[in-house]
Amino acid sequence: MDLDTTDRTILRLLQRDGRITNTELADHVGLSPSACLRRVRALEERGIIDRYVALVNPAMIDKSTSVFVEISLSTQEESLLQSFETEVAKHPAVMSCHLMAGNADYLVRVACRDVDDYENLHRTHFSRLPGIARIRSSFGLRTVCDRTAHHIA
């Protein structure tokens, strides 16, 4: 991946503030606004900039309980993996799902209101997913670090 110093600076600034204007961004990196916009568009076209989002404070929407769910399947058969992944992603409380190496097949992060909200999700969604052999849930007590920006050297 060919990223020069200017590209890296643009990426760091956009990760910090996705709403920065092109003019402000250009000033920070020492380019004209048109040259800066070309750089940003090239980063988007190459897929380096994946998308732009607004980060919502979970506590302000009553979703401050984080649950980390380790899920093991009955088999590693490709069709079952595909079926599981399709179904688990359908629930809006599922914030992320990762295929893992180690003790569990998947690690799923869920945002919910409270323990009762998660219990309902467990009963109505997770326990009904295809190929479930084991579900192990851990509740986050406090978020210590939650980054959205990748380190760009």
What is the band of 153 on the pLDDT scale with cuts at 50, 70, 90? confident
Q: Per residue in 55-105, pLDDT tens?
A: 999 999 999 999 999 999 999 999 999 999 999 999 999 999 999 999 999
Co-location of 81 and 37 in the same domain: no
Co-location of 132 and 62 in the same domain: yes
Q: What is the pLDDT of residue 25?
A: 98
In a domain, 131, yes or no: yes
Domain that holds residue 123: 58-139
Co-location of 62 and 120 in the same domain: yes
- Give me the phi and psi of 151, to 5 degrees please: -70, 125
3-state secondary structure 1-39: CCCCHHHHHHHHHHHHCCCCCHHHHHHHHCCCHHHHHHH
pLDDT at 1 over 80: no
Q: What is the pLDDT of residue 5?
A: 96
The tally of domains found in the chain comes to 2
In a domain, 14, yes or no: yes
In a domain, 98, yes or no: yes
User: Helices (DSSP H) in the chain: which residue ranges?
Assistant: 5-16, 22-29, 33-45, 78-88, 115-124
Q: What is the pLDDT of residue 78?
A: 96
Co-location of 62 and 41 in the same domain: no
Q: Is the dihedral of CA 35, 41, 46, 52 positive or negative?
A: positive
- Give me the phi and psi of 101, to 5 degrees please: -105, 135
The CA distance from 108 to 151, in Å, is 23
Q: CA 88, 92, 98: angle at the middle one, nearest 5?
A: 40
Q: Per residue in 21-53, pLDDT tens?
A: 999 999 999 999 999 999 999 999 999 999 999
Residue 10's CB is within 10 A of a number of other CB atoms, namely: 26
Q: What is the pLDDT of residue 40?
A: 98
